[in-house]
Chain A
Amino acid sequence: DAGVTQSPTHLIKTRGQQVTLRCSPKSGHDTVSWYQQALGQGPQFIFQYYEEEERQRGNFPDRFSGHQFPNYSSELNVNALLLGDSALYLCASSGIATDTQYFGPGTRLTVL
Chain B
Amino acid sequence: DAKTTQPPSMDCAEGRAANLPCNHSTISGNEYVYWYRQIHSQGPQYIIHGLKNNETNEMASLIITEDRKSSTLILPHATLRDTAVYYCIVRVYNAGNNRKLIWGLGTSLAVNP
The chain A residues found within 8 Å of chain B, CB to CB, are 4, 35, 40-45, 48, 55-56, 58, 88, 90, 92, 99-106, 108
Contact = CB atoms under 8 A, between A and B. Distances in A.
B101 A105 contact: no
Contacts of B106: 42
A101 B49 CA distance: 11
B48 to A, nearest CB: 10
A42 B87 CA distance: 8
A105 B104 CA distance: 19
Contacts of A100: 34, 46, 49
Interface residues of B, number: 24
Interface of B: 2, 32, 34, 36, 41-46, 49, 87, 91, 94, 96, 98-106
A31 to B, nearest CB: 10
Q: Which 5 A-B pairs have the closest CB atoms?
A: A103-B43, A42-B103, A56-B98, A103-B44, A105-B43
Contacts, number: 53
Q: Identify which of B96, B100, B102 gathers the most chain A CB atoms within 10 Å of its CB.
A: B100
9 contacts: A40-B105, A90-B43, A90-B44, A92-B43, A99-B34, A99-B99, A100-B34, A103-B43, A103-B46
Contacts of A43: 44, 103
B54 to A, nearest CB: 18
Contact of B98 (A35, A44, A48, A102): A48
A102 B41 contact: no
A99 to B, nearest CB: 5
A92 B96 CA distance: 21
Nearest to A106: B43
A98 B45 CA distance: 16
B87 A4 contact: no
Nearest to B94: A56
